[in-house]
């Protein structure tokens, strides 16, 4: 099996407690995608209970927000991001046009 280490911006914290990947304000998805038809939303958000048992430290795998100052060629260049809850939706709190 091939073991690859990827450099991705870390998901520093997530305040969207109803996401299946959120445990104690930390995201445990392997990687998230930012951006959907509503803007800089966490496209990986999944409203579900119970929460995952995974212990991954999440990173930003892809960013569809070409107009974000942290985006280069659809990859986030921020050191880390925060995911915030806006109108009960998961949004990248680090997004800056």
Run means of pLDDT, 10 residues per run, the chain, 97 residues: 73 96 94 92 93 92 96 96 94 97
pLDDT at 21: 97
pLDDT at 49: 83
Q: Are 14 and 51 in contact (CB under 8 A)?
A: no
CA distances to 18, 67, 73, 81 from 84, rounded to whole Å, are 12, 19, 24, 10
Enter the pTM of the model. Answer: 0.89
């Amino acid at each position: 099996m091939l073991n690859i280490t990827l450099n991705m911006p870390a998901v520093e914290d997530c305040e969207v407690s109803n996401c299946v990947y959120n445990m104690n304000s930390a995201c445990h998805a392997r990687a998230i995608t930012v951006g959907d038809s509503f803007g800089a939303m966490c496209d990986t958000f999944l409203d579900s209970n119970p929460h995952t048992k995974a212990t991954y430290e999440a990173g930003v795998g892809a960013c569809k927000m070409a107009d974000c100052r942290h985006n280069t060629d659809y990859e986030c260049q921020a050191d880390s991001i925060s995911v915030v809850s806006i109108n009960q939706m998961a949004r990248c709190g680090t997004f800056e046009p």
